[in-house]
Every structure is written in structure tokens, then in C-alpha cells.
Structure 1
Amino acid sequence: MTRWKNWGVVIVSGLLIIASWTTGWDTLMIAAAAVAGYQIAISAIQALRVKIVSIDLLVTVAAIGALFINNYWESAAVTFLFAFGGALERATLNKTRKALSDLVDAAPETATVLRDGEAETVEVWELVPGDIVLIKNGEQVPVDGTVVTGHGGVDEATITGESVPAEKAEGEEVFAGTWLRSGLLRVKAVGIGSDTALAKIIHRVEDAQDDKAKTQTFMEKFSRYYTPGVMLTALVIGLITSNVELALTLLVIGCPGAMVISIPVSIVAGIGRAARDGVLIKGGEYLETSARVNAVVVDKTGTLTYGRPVLTDVVVLDDAYSEDQVLTLAARAETASEHPLAEAIIRGAEQRKLTVEMVDKAEPVTGKGIRANIDGRTIAVGTADLLDQSPDNTRTLELNAAGKTAMYVGVDGRAVGIVAVADTIRDTAYQAIKALHDNGVKVIMATGDAKRVAENIAAELGIDEVHAELMPEDKLVIVKELQSQGYTVGMVGDGVNDTPALAQADIGIAMGAAGSPAAIETADIALMADRLPRLPYALNLAKRTVKTMRLNIAIALLLFGVLFGGVTMAIGMLVHEASVLLVIAIAMLLLRPTLKDEQETQAMSQKREAEALAS
């Protein structure tokens, strides 16, 4: 029905024009103009009621004027081409909004819930937080929740844009609208319906696509004055030259259709493409601002690094011990510690297939480390203060200088080895920093971590400027200083501790926002996947969109050149409609996938990241 409503008028009008050519009856040509122009005239009248001089009014006046001078073919051609262009325009615009409809279609409608030990299929709206949902291989995840039992690979492309399934196990988050590609999961429902990340994404994209960029707002204001100006100019030319057809042709050519549509169609396409790739952009204004970003402030922990310390070195200081023995002693002692570094040492030992038994007796020493009794010996892991004999600190100083935390392993007061841990750099951080630099973006690290650690990581990644040992409010000062130097600043933060800096920055960016509805709502740009390379991708897409907007405006303005070619009304309308469709077609190029070329690189990066965490 919708398709007939869109194309029915065009088909009937076109058949009447063909019939008129065949029979030579002018009444059929008038009928064709009436059929195609009826809705155009209605739209023009409706716009006038709210004091808007629309494009439809220009076409209506031109078509009626052509009838009065007995130019029936011109009248029919103008209205037919305008109706045809409108139908084609609506059809192509629907394609630019397909990204949103794909997200809407991704929302699941039913779920299998476990109640009283029995599996029951229910509508999603019947679920309540706390329900245990059963998800089998090949099924869609119906809720946001936490895995209670099971293991599987989940395709999260609808949320994060990632092509490689994410491995999920007990305690990990899953999101509604994603697909379980392997395994079996039992999930405790947390977010349902409108409270899911998918629903918030859909809401954000709807708002963003309707939001207006500054350029679009200017163009709309301009067209309000431009359209009456065209009508007045046509009237003056008609009076001066006594050439009514020339005046009517000016009305047709002067229709600012391509100009008016050039901005919104680009915004819809750009934001839609970004949403498919797991990047939420809050609106047209932020899209336009993102294109100008030339300085990015990033945190270190969890952004450039994994935010999870891992064992990096085991050094033997006593030939009576091997690396494995030193590490086993350290790991066993740390089983009694709750310090974050203890987990890294224990995990490192387990990954080397070493047996790590719990200790019976241990004594944490605040600020220094831990002492434990193992097989009748006193094992110490920590600073030199835990030892009776002062060891040579050359190796520990070297490790510390490399940004690692080095700890002595002592047996009965004497150092036998050193273990070192560090928060390792994300494999994708290199790719992201290089991409930012290639696009002329300055990268600034702002972190609360120790200066030596921050400087080592910055040097390895080639970061331009480092600020360490900061409080959250210090990051606000850094953003302000960059802005005072003329930079357009993007701030990457978590949306909570970095709120002042995010608010001050020209563009606030939340990374890994899929599990944080608050980040989706508050950030100007939300990177759904926990992948920094999506940042340069988002900035590049913004630049492409703004370039498209400018190109489309140029095409719209060049339309005036045809006036000097002595064209007819029909040709003028044909050129006008062609320009509108060209503008839309150029904007639709933004919908082309640009991450596909990176999929192999991303898959390899993910594999290396997993190996880095496992090693």
C-alpha cells in the first residue's frame, strides 16, 4: 500500500502523458499535470498556512502558469518530474535510514525463561529483572544480563560492530539483540525492553538522526528567505522582459530542493553508518564538531592498556633456584594476599602449569608486601624491607624504569629472585595512535598513574604529550589549556570520574559503552566496543560526512548555471530533480562499510590481545 501511495501518482501521470502523445489530445496532458500536481498544490497550501513559502509553491505556480500560456506539456512535465523525483527521493532516503530499522529489527520479541525448573517461552515484556533466561546455540539474546552458567561465543555486531564473536562465560555481560553462535548460556536478566543497551542505542540514533547540524540550521534559515526571493526575482524578470516562460522557468530552476536536502541526508547516512559499526554519535552538531577535532586526550589504564596487571618477568638471583621455583614460591605466598598484583603473579604461575597450593599461615605487611610460612621456611614477596640482607637493586631499578612493578622473592630473609608485573599495552593501541597521527591529530595522555610508567608507555606508543599523577579535576585544566591554544579537543573517558573534562571538551567520548547505559546517554560519541581504533574511525567518518555535506551544497548551488543555457521548464525540472538525486546518491556512499577491510586486522589483534592476557 505504501509503495502504491509513493509511486501510484507517478505511474498514472506518466501513462496520461504517453496517451496524450499518442492521441494528440491536450486534455490528457492537462489531466497528467492535475494528477501529478494535485498533492504538490495541497502541500504548498498547507505550508502557506504556517507561513512557509515552500518548494511545492514554486512548482505549483510554475505549472499553473504554464497552463495559462497553453504550454500543457511543460506543465505536465514539471509536475510529473517533481512527483517522480519526490517518490525516488523518499525511496532512497529510506535506504539511508535502514541502519536504524536494522537495529529495530534486531530487538527480540520472545525469550525462554526458566521458572520452577521448567523452560517456558514468553514474550519479552513478560520478563522481570532476576529471571533466568535460557539461550541456546543459534538463538538471539533477549535481555541485557549476566551469565550465570554456561560458555559460548556471542555475535555482538548489532551492539559493538565487532565481526568476531565474543567469548562469554560465568559473570560476563551479554546484551539484547546479539546472537549466540556457539554453546549454551543461562543468563540472569538485568535490563529488559526499553532498559536494554539496544533500546537505548535505537533511541539515541533516532534522536541523533533528527538532530540538526549547525550547517543544516543555517541552510534552512537561508531557504526561508531564498524561496520568496526566487519568486520575487521571477516576477521582476517577467515584468522586465515580458517573457512569462522565462519567469516560470526561473521558478522551476530556483527550487532549492538539492540545497535543502543536502545536509540532512548526509547526517542521516553518516550517523546510520556509524551506528552499524558500533559508534553512536549524539547528533548532527557533534558529527560536524568531530570533523574538526585535532587533539585527543586519553586515559592510560583500560584505554591504552588492558587495565589488568600481568606477570612480565621472573629473575633468578640465587643459582640454587630455577625461574619456576622462584615463581612458585611467590605465587604460593600471594595466595594469602588480596592485593591486585597478587592475582597477576598467581595467574602467571598457573599459565606456566605450575602447582600453586594455598598457604596455611601468612602475614601481610602494609605497604611492603607479604610474608608466608611455606614448608617450614619464611617466604617474603615485596620490597627489600622484608629481607634481612640488602640485595643488589640494579635489576629492580631497571624493571621499575621500564614501567614495571618489581618485587623481591625472599627465602628466610635472603633474596632468591625477582618477579615483576605490569599493565600491558593493548595491541590495538598502536594501530589507533598511528591512525590518529596520520590524520593530523595530537594525542595527549592524561593519567593518575605514576609518571615513569606513563612516560614509558607514551614513548612506546609515540604519544605526543604526557601528564601523569593527575586527579580528575586536573584533566579539566589540560582540556582548557588545549582549547586556549586553539585545539578542538576530544576527551576519551569513562563518563564518571572524568565528567568535568568530558563536559569541557568539544567532544566527549566514552569507550566500551555497551555495558554502560549512562555512558550512551551522556557521551557525545559512544564507542560501543572496548576498542580504541574505533576513535580514529569515528573522526574519519565525521570528516567524510562533512566533506559530503559541502560537496552536496556545491552541487546544489551549481544548478543555477543551467539558467544561462536557455533551457525549457521541463529540462530545468529534470536538471533540478537530477541534482536532488545526485545529492542523495553521494550521501548514500557514506553507507558503504569501511570496517570490512579492517576485519582481518581486528581479528588478529583480538587474538594477540587474548594471547597477551593469557601469557
Structure 2
Amino acid sequence: MAFEQWIQQKIKPITAIAAALVALGLASHWLGQTFLQQGFYIIAAIIAGVPILLRAWSALRMKIISIELLVSVAVIGAFIIGEYDEAAFVTFLFLFGDFLEQKTLAKTRQSIQTLADMAPTTALVVQPDGQTAEIDVDDVVPNQELLVKTGAQIPVDGEILTGRGDLNEASITGESRLVAKENGADVYAGTILENGTLHIKATKVGDDTTFAKIVELVEDAQDTKSHAEKLIDKFAQYYTPAVLVIALLVGLVTQNLRLAITVLVLGCPGALVIGAPVSNVAGIGNGAKHGVLVKGGAVMTTLRNVDTFVFDKTGTLTQGKTTVTTIHQDDPTGLQYAARLENDSDHPLGRAIVAYAADHQLLNPGLKVTATQTYQGLGIAAQVDGQQVLVGNQALLKQYQVTMTPQQTATMQTMQTQGESLVLVAVNGQLTTLLGISDQIRPAVAERLQELKQLGAKQLVMLTGDNERTAQAVAAQIGIDQVHAELLPADKVKFVKQLQSEGRTVAFVGDGINDSPSLAQADIGIAMGSGTDVALETSDVVLMQSDFTELVHAYGLARKTVGNMRENIVIALATVAFLFLGLIVGVVDMASGMLVHEGSILVVILNAMRLIGYQRPVKKIKENWQIAKEN
């Protein structure tokens, strides 16, 4: 075992020595030194053949008939019939091809190395006396105070205690623009403080940081096989033994050992085996570089087949940065009660109410809240200072049999027509306050959705818990095909199932938190998450910057990657067909066949490497979008 490991560690020098011996053999042939020529070829074949033979034996112990076994049998046969030059060329070309394959595969995995190189290694810990001490980043513990200076990396995930600065978050979002942050803001390990000085409190350290999870996710994804890879692996289980049987039959029928050995060499499925994995690795690496985390080759294949995109509204199609824009109230205490109930909520509408109340000195934490009951998708009911308070939508009020006056109904309809989301506040069974909350649509969403259609999406659907009028107003602005409003999370899941029952391949795009049931039900779950834990764990694809440009890039990349896999499979099969046809007509021998075989492996790798530079076809789609708008 130790010898086998030592040999595999010395593949590069072994390949170089074999190359030199083959060159000396060729030189001896030109000089007419037949004895030296044969000697050089024999030594070259033995030196290069040992690692191949060891790999074949290792695979056999695992009950696997590998490509190395085919080559080993062919080389032993070549020695038996005295074709030492063929044995030398075949073993050297196999090792040289393997060397080039590893070099080019390393190039496709460069995105992972780039991410790993971004990892911080040290941190400045603030001591009790105010001094700082530099320690290894692995020694940082939660809640420690750290100092980050201009130009330094944020060592761990944390919260800014004091200071202000502009951060380059390319390692997290894939976008190198600067983000201004100050007291209370979250910061992430691996991001760079371009200017300013920060004191931060460590919240997540080591493998728990967002950056560490991203690296782990992309590494795991590149090792996860696509449907095509699994199919090829299964095919290879039968194909390789079949080649051995065919070669044996050829030898028995023709009594031509050389011909049988040549069949073994030409039948090696190297390009077929490597073609799909290298496309998968390159495609996932490209996505990581552009802020798109795709969890494996199988996800890439399914994403390519998506024909229906389903979107949540708040926080997905819109920015989730909601503000109170309209207030109609009969009693000013209604807004105070609503702000008190929503103070512990993470819902975008609730945050907007709390922010408005805080800005207008209406937030009163001293109000006593009891008997709180949350209704998913409806709102909150509670006793506030002895008053029964409802904060939510129309369905919640209907459940508590709260009625509206004709004037309130007309006001509500006007607000909805303007595209505002409504929060209704009822106190002791009477509707007292109507709050209109607006959420800005994400920049360029309409153009990005058009790009999805240009790339192959057949239908765009919005599922939202918001009211029908507001949902329709938003959909009309951005070009959504189908809208379903006033839905509970369970209702969204039902709609996804219904689309799937119609034979559609569905991608659900949500925020990765409230929409986790739909993300799980869809064929592909896509989280607009900026690296949140829930987004990383519950979805198949994470858009790190929560940008629809990343969504278009992911969809186009998936289609390009799967297409590239198919190209490589065609190249591999065409090569095998060409080699056997050449053998039949007598223009291909063992050495030339191995040369073509190794060349085909390089071709499929180089073809896959084109994915590293993939960019979405912006110019063409922009032109089509302009034409669509004019028409």
C-alpha cells in the first residue's frame, strides 16, 4: 500500500522519465540502433506501466473493471507479441493524458481555490484593557470584540458595535461593489473593509460562518453527480467488461492477438467518463464566481428543464424594504397598538409599521401584551392593555367577524388600486386604522423576467399572501403571466403541486424563510437570500446578492452547462466510432488509437472549460426586450 501511494505521488516525474525514454527510443530508431531502441521502449513501458497496473489492481479489489485494466491487459499483450514500441507509446500517452486532464480539471476548480484564498487567517481581539492581540481566526469565540482596520478582512460573521465603513462583499455576493455599513449592521467573514474602522462582536465563527458554508456548499456541489454522470457511470459498469469480452472474442475468432489488444486500447471510454463531470465542475464554478450557488449537477440538469417560474412577491419581486405611505385612522391608539404587536416580528410589513412608529415617537414598549396568537398568513391577535387588538388582513378581520363601513371599504379599494399592501387594525371589534404600505419593486425586474422568457421560460407566476388588487398592480408593472393572491403558505404549496400535476417543471423563487414549504415542494427551490442560513439549507440554488440578474445567469448557465455535457458525450461516442471504423479499414493502430483517445479527452475538457467564461447574452436579450416593449 505504501509503495502504491509512493508511486501515485511520483506520477509527474514518472511521466517525464517515460517521455524522455520514448524520445531516446525514437532517436535510436532514426540512428539505426535497433537494440538501444528496443531497450529504451521496454524500460519506458515498464516505468509508465507500473502506476497504471497498480490502479487497475486497486480497482479490481473494489470489484471495478476500470479503464486502467483495459490498458494493462493491452500492454501485457503487447509485450507478449514483442510490440515494445506500442507498449511504450500507449503507457506514456495514457499517463500524459492523465496529467493534462488533472491540470485542466484544476483550472475548472479554480473558483473554489479563489474562494479558499479569500478566507481570513487572523483576527485582532480587543482585550479588557483596550489593547488588541492578534490571534488565529480559529481561536475566535462567539461574543468576542474584534477590531477591523481599513484594508483588512472581516475575520468572522459579526455585528458592528461601533464604527462605520464601506465593505467589499464580493466573497459573499459575487459583486465587488462597496456596501456602506454602520452600528448594528451584520458583517460577514471574508469581506474586505475598504475604508473606515470597525469594532464588531463575533456572532458566528469557524465552520459556522456564511463564508465557510459557501465554500463547503460549492465543494460539495462540484462533487455531486448530475443525471448524465450517473447514467454514464452505470453505462461504464457494463461497457468496460463488454470491451474485454469483445476483445477476447476477436482474438479467438481471428487468432490475431495484436488486433485483440488494439480493440482493448480503442475501447477505452475515457472521454465519455470525464466529459459530463468536467462540464458540471466548470458550470458550478462559474456560478460561484457570479454569486450563484448551485447545489450539484443534478440541480443543474433540473434547472435547465424548468419551464415555469413561480415567485413570491414581498422580498422577492419587491425589495422587502417596506415603508408606511398612507394612514387612515379613527383612533390614533390603533397605530401604537399595531407597532407594539409587530415589534417582535420579522415580517417586512411589520418592520415598516415599527419603523414608522419609531420615527414619529409612537412606539411604546411599555404597553402590556397578553394572550398573543399568531395566524399564519393572516396576522396577529392579542390583548394590549386590556383591549382586544387585531393586526392583519381582511381574512383575519372576517374570522373575528369585524365589519367595515362603506367608506372604509372604498378607501381600502383605492389604496389597493395604488398598489399598496394593507394592514388593518381593529380594536375591540371595530376597524380603527388602515395602513397602506408600499414596497419598491426590485430594479430592472421587468427586463430580467423578459430575459427568462427569451432563454426558454414558458410561464411566470406570482403567488402572494397580499390582496388581489395590490398583487395585480405589481404584476402589471413587471409582466407576470398569472397571479394568485391572498394565499396562505399551504395554499402556495397547493398551487406548486397543481402546476407539477400539469406536467410542468417548476422553480419557486422565494426568500428562503417564509416560503420554505414551497421551496421544498418545487422541482427547484431558488432562494433570494444573501447567504442566510435558511436560504443555504432549504434551497437548491442560492442567489447571494438577491439580484434577478443572478437568476437569469443561473438559468442561462444551467442550459449552457447541460448542452455542454451533451456535446461532450457526442464527442466521446463519435471518437470511439471513428477509432473502430479506422481499425476496420486499417488506418488506426494501437499507438495512434491511444493518441486519438487521449486527444479526445483533452477536447472534451477544453470544451467544458468554455463554461468558465460564460456570461448571460445581455446584448441580444436587451434588443429583444426593446422590440417587445415597442410592440
TM-score of Structure 1 vs Structure 2, range by shorter chain: 0.7 to 0.9
Q: 2:145 aligns with which of 126, 132, 141?
A: 132
Provide the rounded CA distance (Å) in 2 between the counterparts of 1:264 and 1:597.
Answer: 28
For residues 42-83 of structure 1, give each alpha carbon's deviation from its aligned partner in whole angstroms, at most 9, with x where no partner exists. 111111122211101111111221222222211111111001
1:536 aligns with 2:557: no
Distance 1:519 1:393 in 2: 38
Q: State yes or no: 1:120 paired with 2:133.
A: yes
- The 8 Å contact of residues 303 and 555 in structure 2, kept in 1 or not, is answered as yes
Give SS of 1:51's match. coil
- Cα distance 1:520–1:420, how it changes in 2: closer, same or farther (>3 A)? closer
Task: Give the whole-Å Cα distance in 2 for the aligned partners of 1:406 and 1:429.
Answer: 23
Partner residue in 2 for 1:415: none
Match of residue 148 from structure 1: 161
- Once residues 261 and 149 of structure 2 are traced to their aligned partners in structure 1, the CA distance between those partners, rounded to angstroms, is 66
Match of 2:71 among 59, 63, 71: 59
Q: Is the 8 A contact 1:513 1:520 kept in 2?
A: no
Match of 1:469 among 483, 486, 499: 486
Change (3 A) 1:393 1:256: closer
Deviation at 1:149, TM superposition (A): 1.8
Where in structure 2 are there 5+ consecutive unaligned residues?
Answer: 1-5, 343-347, 368-378, 380-405, 424-433, 623-631
1:2 to partner: Cα distance: 11
**Is 1:496 paired with 2:501?**
no
Q: 1:260 aligns to what?
A: 273
2:81 is aligned with what amino acid?
A: I
Give the aligned partner of residue 523 of structure 2. Answer: 506
Question: Which residue in the other structure is 1:5 paired with?
Answer: 10
Tell me the distance in 2 between the aligned counterparts of 1:561 and 1:280: 39
Counterpart amino acid of 1:583?
V
Matched ranges for 1:103-118 at <5 A: 103-116=115-128, 117-118=130-131
Name the CA distance, whole Å, in 2 between partners of 1:261 and 1:167: 45
Question: 2:86 matched to which residue of 1?
Answer: 74
Work out the CA distance in 2 between the residues paired with 1:551 and 1:358. Answer: 64
Amino acid at match of 1:179: I
d(CA) in 2 for partners of 1:90 and 1:6?
A: 11
Instruction: Calculate percent identity across the aligned residue pairs.
Output: 45
Listed as ranges, the gaps of 5+ residues in structure 1 are 315-330, 351-355, 368-389, 408-417, 602-615
Do 2:172 and 2:530's aligned partners in 1 also have CA atoms closer than 8 Å?
no
Whole-angstrom distance in 2 between the partners of 1:297 and 1:204: 24
The equivalent residue for 2:102 is 90
Deviation at 1:404, TM superposition (A): 3.0
- Distance change in 2, residues 1:420/1:21 (3 Å): closer
Structure 2 counterpart SS, 1:177: coil
Establish whether residue 202 from structure 1 lines up as the match of residue 202 from structure 2: no
Distance 1:519 1:405, change over 3 A: closer
Q: Show the counterpart of 1:37.
A: 49
* Aligned-partner Cα distance in 2 for 1:556–1:8: 29
- SS of the residue corresponding to residue 548 of structure 2 reads coil
Distance in 1 (alpha carbons) for counterparts of 2:8 and 2:60? 28
Task: Mark the CA change 1:3 to 1:50 in structure 2 (over 3 Å): closer, same or farther.
Answer: closer
1:248 maps to 2:261? yes
Partner of 1:588: 609
What are the Cα deviations for residues 147-198 of structure 1, in whole angstroms up to 9, with x where unaligned? 1222222111111111212221222211111111122222111000111011
Partner of 1:162: 175
Cα pair distance change 1:450/1:484, threshold 3 Å? same
Show the counterpart of 1:375: none
Aligned counterparts of 1:9 and 1:359: Cα–Cα separation in 2: 78
286-295 or 571-580: bigger deviation: 286-295
Q: Assess if the C-alpha contact under 8 Å between 1:151 and 1:169 holds in 2.
A: yes
Residue number in structure 1 paired with 2:572? 556
Which of 438, 451, 465 is the equivalent residue of 1:435? 451
- Flag the 1:239–1:392 CA change in 2: closer, same or farther, 3 A: closer
1:411 corresponds to? none
Given the two structures, how large is their TM-score scaled by the length of structure 1?
0.81
Structure 1 Cα separation of the partners of residues 117 and 485 of structure 2: 45
* Structure 1 residue matching 2:125: 3-state secondary structure: strand
The answer to whether the Cα contact below 8 Å between 1:431 and 1:533 also exists between their aligned partners in 2 is no
What one-letter code is carried by the residue in structure 2 that aligns with 1:270? G
Contact 2:292-2:543 at 8 Å conserved across structures: yes
Q: Is the 8 A contact 1:435 1:536 kept in 2?
A: yes
Distance, in Å, in 2 between the alignment partners of 1:548 and 1:342 is 47
Other structure's SS at 1:113 match: strand
Q: Is the 8 A contact 1:436 1:443 kept in 2?
A: no
1:444 aligns with 2:457: no
Q: State the Cα deviation string for residues 532-585 of structure 1 (Å, max 9, x = none).
A: 221221121111111111111111100121222220111100000001111111
The CA deviation at 1:212 is 1.5
Corresponding residue for 1:478? 495
1:177 aligned onto 2:190: yes
- Shifted more, 274-283 versus 137-146: the winner is 274-283
Q: CA deviation at 1:398?
A: 5.1
Equivalent-residue separation in structure 2 for 1:53 and 1:360 (angstroms) = 72
Letter in 2 for 1:169: E
CA distance in 2, matches of 1:398, 1:440: 37
TM-score (structure 2 length as normaliser): 0.79
Partner of 1:454: 471
Query: Residue in 1 aligned with 2:317?
Result: 304
